[in-house]
Homo-oligomer: A and B are copies of this chain.
Amino acid sequence: MLGFSRRRMALTFPRAGMSAKRPPIEYEEATAEVRAVYDDIMATRKTDWVNNFWKVLAHDPPTLRRIWANIKQVMGPGTLDPLTKELLYVAVSASNGCLYCIASHGAAARSKGMTEAQYSELLAIVGLANETNRLVTALGVAIDPQFL
């Protein structure tokens, strides 16, 4: 071996036309198919912008449509009120450490009325549940017959 160069191995790694990271696709540059989803997102949410998650998913239009359809169904009207749904989404995202999801669903929760005191309580529950979940599992606690 003659040297130890750090120059880019263009022939083997990231080939031409392929980027490792997908940039957001803005409305102006989107196809009609993608714009239709963006339009539905904005109409459903009564906003005039679309957040980055959808703009990055837009590189794969079938997934964009599918995930939006899922969110629309799951987070739409039901027996749990809209704020509670957002709180649950934030709690799972906080437990999983998804900062983007905490930010986006946290903003949605705040817009539906979540106070900072409620957010503090939510985080306290997420933290404590993660503690007791580990203790219960590690100790192999048997489910009480009263719970079955």
**Residues of A participating in the B interface, judged by any CB pair closer than 8 Å:** 1, 3-9, 12-15, 18, 20-22, 24, 26-28, 38-39, 42-43, 46-53, 56-57, 59-60, 62-63, 66-67, 70-71, 73-75, 78-80, 84-85, 87-89, 91-104, 106-108, 110-111, 115-118, 120-148
- Give every chain B residue within 8 A of A108 (Cβ-Cβ): 13
Pick from B79, B99, B123, B133: contact of A93, CB below 8 A: B133
- Give every chain B residue within 8 A of A75 (Cβ-Cβ): 125
A97 to B130, CA, bound (A): 11
Which of A5, A62, A97, A143 gathers the greatest number of chain B CB atoms within 10 Å?
A: A143
Number of copies: 6
Asked whether, in the complex, the Cβ of B146 is within 8 Å of the Cβ of A49, the reply is yes
Asked whether, in the complex, the Cβ of B74 is within 8 Å of the Cβ of A128, the reply is yes
Asked whether, in the complex, the Cβ of A14 is within 8 Å of the Cβ of B120, the reply is no
Nearest first, the 7 closest Cβ-Cβ pairs linking A and B are A60-B120, A4-B27, A92-B129, A131-B131, A94-B138, A103-B147, A98-B133
Asked whether, in the complex, the Cβ of A79 is within 8 Å of the Cβ of B121, the reply is yes
